[in-house]
Amino acid sequence: GKTQRPRWTCSQRLRQRVYGQANVKWMGTPINELKRLPECGGPLPPLKDIRGMHTVMIRTDLLRKGKVPVPYPAVFEDTWDDVHVKMPCSSSNLFPVEDKVYVSTSIYSRSSVRSQTTRSKMPQPVFGLRQVKVNGSLALSKVLEPDAAESLFDSLLPDMVQLALRASELCTKAMPLLKAGMTHSITMSQEQVACLLANAFFCTFPRRNSRSKEYWNYPDINFVRLFESSSSRKIEKLKTIMCYFESITERMPTGLVTFTRKRLGKPPDWKRSIRLTKLHITCEGTIEDDGYGMLQVDFANQFVGGGVTSSGLVQEEIRFLINPELIASRLFTEALDDNDCLIITGTEQYSKYTGYAQTYQWSGRHHDATPRDAWQRRCTEIVAIDALQFRNFLEQFHPCKINRELNKAYCGFARPEVQKEELAAVATGNWGCGVFGGDTRLKALLQMLAAAEAGRDVAYFTFGDSQLMTDVHNIHSFLTLNNITVGEVYGLLQQYYSSVCKSCHSRRPDVSLYSFIYRQVRSLPGAR
């Protein structure tokens, strides 16, 4: 079918007339007309620990702007079971070491061995990393200027050791594992997150250096795999992570971060007559920069963070690197199910970067000026939603796959407890495309449907794909102009599968999804 002529604003038409369509960088609603936090947000309820719903790890009565929060309780809760995080400072954390005198195996508390590292500036090779000459740090030192390398070994690493050793002082409350089927939040200070990440760097979390039976369904948290080689990718990752540690050891941030695993109860009725919301679409900019104050989508792996602690370096891994506090979620978040998501509120961006995947490079410190909310969290809300992976292109158009992706996106976007007028726009892009095999035009449409059902506008970043920008804008304008509802688009998706995909004998159908929608809608009485 023909492509519907886009409905542009006056400024867009003028630019198109003067420069030509190739120079149009955005379409639809101007981005400054979309809602952002904190401006659109309503008042937050009091922050409090709620048994079975919300674990709060600080003294809320002592929470003050600009002051490092006080841990709660005052004394470390030594919990060692299958529903809480096993901490490296626990008295139950035991492991064998070789007695140099008797050449026999004895059992020592890791915490007592770890305390020996305070005797020298450099930590000794006693756990996790076989040689905390630290393979990754040695590799990193090779590409640093001499002064920077000296600072790494004489100052930064010892400071990180001291931070890691404060686990029993800072992370006193037992942290629940966010298991499949749960809806639960954990709120902790940025200082507590930093302590957890220092322990992850030194690989101290017990039973997590390999995918044990106990943690087979959890992401890696210890940085073991990051130190396995000195590839250029891992060097740039380490530069980014060390930038974080350098920043927080110089000046500890004073805010809070909330990690929420959310389970979708009853899925929405996708046949309902709900209108599409506003769309801003651009081939320039990024979710993290231009989508500030919006609900920012992490194109997640089922194991949140994907390959951030190994060799992965695409959208999700990059976001976890520049906002390293996200990595802490890997400590306690079990693999995501089809009907849940992870929402992280309050993380800070510490690094700038250029490139993507093989071309990724750390490019210096970033000063995050994002305002804080009443709970002293940065107004940065990131939602991790994992898309399905498709080996067969046609498979993704099957109704059950469509339902799964719609429900997953809706789970991430919906906040039934919040008034619609207080919801920020969704900042997203090509979710589940690339190596996951998703069709960009289908995924854009599904996210627009889910956002409309959730009552949010959409800011869509095509990452340089100007043709996709035009196509998605055109279909959105066409559907809006003809008052086509979410339910009607959902019906068209089912028709497309039954009449085009089901009988298709090649890898890709002859009729594209958007062409099919144009043709079907134009056949309706009164269509424009």
Averaged over 10-16, what is the pLDDT? Answer: 47
Q: Which of 191, 220, 236, 317 is an active site residue?
A: 317
For residues 149-157, average pLDDT: 86
**Percent over 90 (pLDDT), the chain:** 80
- Count of other CB atoms within 10 angstroms of residue 105: 9
What number is the average pLDDT over the span 112-121? 46
Task: Give residue-wise pLDDT tens across range 161-176.
Answer: 999 999 999 999 999 9
Is the pTM of the predicted complex or chain greater than 0.75? yes
E-assigned strand segments in 277-418: 279-282, 295-300, 340-345, 351-354, 361-365, 381-386
Closest CA to 134 of 219, 239, 224, 204: 224
315 annotated as a binding-site residue: yes
Residue of 234, 235, 253 whose CA lies nearest to 245:
253
Catalytic residue among 236, 246, 316, 439: 316
pLDDT computed for residue 363 by the predictor: 97
Res 106: pLDDT:
38
Q: Report whether pLDDT(4) > 60.
A: no
Helices (H), 455-512: 466-481, 486-496
Q: Determine the 3-state secondary structure of 206 from DSSP.
A: coil
From 83, 288, 75, 70, select the one nearest 175 (Cα to Cα): 83
The confidence score (pLDDT) of residue 78 equals 95
pLDDT at 123 over 70: no
pLDDT score, position 132? 41
Alpha-carbon span 347 to 39, nearest angstrom = 19
Q: What is the mean pLDDT of the chain?
A: 89
CB of 284 closer than 8 Å to CB of 462:
no
298 among known catalytic residues: yes
Above 80 in pLDDT, residue 314? yes
Chain segment 392-442, per-residue pLDDT in tens: 999 999 999 999 999 999 999 999 999 999 999 999 999 999 899 999 999
Q: CA Rg, the chain, in Å?
A: 25
Q: Which amino acid belongs to residue 95?
A: F
- Is 356 labelled as part of a ligand binding site? yes
> Alpha-carbon dihedral of residues 350, 202, 298, 435, nearest 10 degrees?
120
Rounded to 5 degrees, φ, ψ at 177 are: -75, 130
Calpha distance 215→224 (Å, rounded): 15
Q: Average the pLDDT over 478-490 and give the result.
A: 98
Euclidean distance between CA atoms 438 and 442, whole angstroms: 8
Q: Are 132 and 202 in contact (CB under 8 A)?
A: yes
Structure tokens at 394: 């046609």
- C-alpha 117/C-alpha 122 separation (Å) is 7
Residue 209 binned pLDDT confidence (cut-offs 50, 70, 90): confident
Contacts of 280 by beta carbon, 8 Å cutoff, 6+ apart:
26, 27, 28, 29, 30, 31, 33, 34, 425, 457, 458, 459, 460
Domain coordinates in residue numbering, the chain: 54-523
The runs of H, that is alpha helices, within 281-416 are 287-290, 315-322, 329-332, 399-413
Distance separating alpha carbons of residues 98 and 113, to the nearest angstrom: 12
Q: What is the pLDDT of residues 81-108, one digit of tens each?
A: 999 999 999 999 986 655 544 443 334 3
- Residue of 191, 220, 246, 298 with catalytic role: 298
End-to-end CA, the chain: 14
Per-residue pLDDT tens for 254-269? Answer: 999 999 999 999 999 9
Place of tokens 């400590």: 331
| Catalytic residue flag (residue 228) | no
According to DSSP, residue 279 is labeled: E
